[in-house]
Amino acid sequence: MRTPRNSPPEHDGFAFVLFGGTGDLAMRKILPALYAAHRDDMLAPDGRIVSVAQTALDHGGYLKWVEEHVKPHLPGTAIDPAVWEGFLERITYVALDASQPDSFSLLREALATGRSRRIFYLATGPALFVPICRALASAGLTVGSRVVLEKPLGYDLESSNAINDAVGQIFAEDQIYRIDHYLGKEAVQNLLALRFGNSLFEPLWRRDWVESIQITVAEELGVEGRGNFYDQTGALRDMVQNHLLQLLAIIAMEPPHSMDADAVRDEKLRVLRALKPVTSEQIRQSVVRGQYHAGAIKGVSVPAYQAEAGVGEHSTTETFVALKVEVENWRWSGVPFFLRTGKRLAGRLAEIVINFRPVPHSALGPMALRPGSNRLTIRLQPNESIRLSALAKQPGTGMTLQGVHLDLAFDQFFQQERMEAYERLLLDVIAGRLALFVRRDEQEAAWRWVAPILADWASQDNPPKPYAAGTWGPAAASALLARHSTCWQEEEN
């Protein structure tokens, strides 16, 4: 039986308007997250969901679509038919063309009853963000409302600013929720608790005691039918500019004076502005760009990236990036942050590894001087956990050291099902909590930092380095760390 949440439901009514209501993101993530919140009694009884898409379906046809495409992605194993039917009763479907402002009269009619707060979730391509916001304003639907913008928000700094400028003319900054689902993960929240709720780690969380930090987000999947989108985006825009730099900012930030939204985001912004700029010469030394070729994932053959549907035959879009980043401030100066992300890698993994410096002198033999003997590993997926690695004496005669681990597996310690990232973030939107969403100046700082890399790749004859699907990426990614006398965690053994 599921343990009740430790937070009360949102009692005020709401209308959650989901643009892209027949799309992949809506089916796999957003509607399953709303179902979980409904199942756990976290939604107001009169809260409703209005799905919007261009697909010509009536109300019954849309509910059949939801039945077919959402149920396979629902959390948990058993689905209570009564709970599912209650969830479906919240849903209304409106078929309209988001690029045609006149059609928004249909949405206005659907929202005419009640005085619920309105939340507009734009699970569409970024090209529709501005037209949708302008049409909402023309229909008189934006006053007191909130808008959620999915990534990618633009293609570069210029296009991101253009979208933010246009949306900012319609919605105030405190009405805009730029979502990054990694910030809603339980382990990321526990990273904040670990750092700022315990005196044990804070004195060690600095250059004097930390040798290096690794952040990895690895996927086994390829482009999964999204070749047209991904070939115009690539791993740097899709993952580094948002997810990985946000994780870096949380790791490196100073303690905020409170957990209020702007207090937290101010500290993240200071980190992003302190990132050491990269020159063309440094890019060639500190950034690895890769693209997967044909290989095998868990024994199943998979095609090369260039053979994927929607991908150009001679595409140079990167599916892998590894890079060394430095934070130029008193706490972190000289500590390398190694970031890595890629598709068709050897495993599905998202983790942060804090490598502490070895002891300066050991009377216990070379084991105590080995890099990585003391480390903290924060696993974000697939199984959220925190592991502290240390050294202990082996039983028996003599003083032989062996690595041991102190583990906190959240699903074992806390006897309740974990809240998924999207569920937490959607409840925060409904409640008006902004702390886990990206502020515009954060986003600009991240785009500004990656801009020289994008420009260098566009101007240089520097094609991605090949790697076989099912491996951990190009050999150059290992060489990057080897130049700093370290290695990726999975390479140690």
Q: How far is CA 171 from CA 1, 144, 247, 440, in A?
A: 42, 9, 27, 13
| Element holding 405 (H helix, E strand) | strand 401-409
- Residue ranges of the annotated binding site are 151, 181, 185, 219, 238, 343
Whether 484 sits among the annotated catalytic residues: the reply is no
- Residue ranges of the annotated binding site for substrate are 181, 185, 219, 238, 343
322 beta partners = 288, 340
- Residue ranges of the annotated binding site for NADP(+) are 151
Which of 243, 314, 361, 405 is catalytic? The answer is: 243
Q: Phi/psi zone of residue 365: left (φ > 0), alpha (ψ -120 to 50 degrees), beta?
A: left
Q: Is 414 helix (H, G, I), strand (E, B) or coil?
A: coil
Q: Is 72 helix (H, G, I), strand (E, B) or coil?
A: helix
353 beta partners = 214, 377
> Could you write out the three-class secondary structure of 330-365?
CCCCCCCEEEEEECCECCCEEEEEEEECCCCCCCCC
Q: Name the pairing type of β-strands 14-19 and 300-302.
A: unpaired
| Element holding 157 (H helix, E strand) | helix 157-168
Distance of CA 218 to the CA centre of its chain: 12
Backbone angles phi, psi at 326, to 5 degrees: -125, 145
CB of 323 closer than 8 Å to CB of 449: no
275 beta partners = 327
Q: How many CA atoms lie within 13 A of 305 on its CB side?
A: 32
Contacts of 438 (CB under 8 A, 6+ apart): 178, 179, 180, 183, 242, 246, 265
Burial of 60 per CB tally in 10 Å (0-12, 13-18, 19+): exposed
Cis peptide before 382 (omega within 30 of 0): yes
> CB count, 10 Å around CB of 54?
16
CA distance 121 to 347: 31
Distance of CA 163 to the CA centre of its chain: 20
Q: What's the token pair of residue 128?
A: 């529709």
DSSP state of 204: G
Q: How far is CA 107 from CA 51, 85, 127, 166, in A?
A: 10, 24, 20, 21
Task: Give the residue numbers annotated as catalytic, written as ranges.
Answer: 243
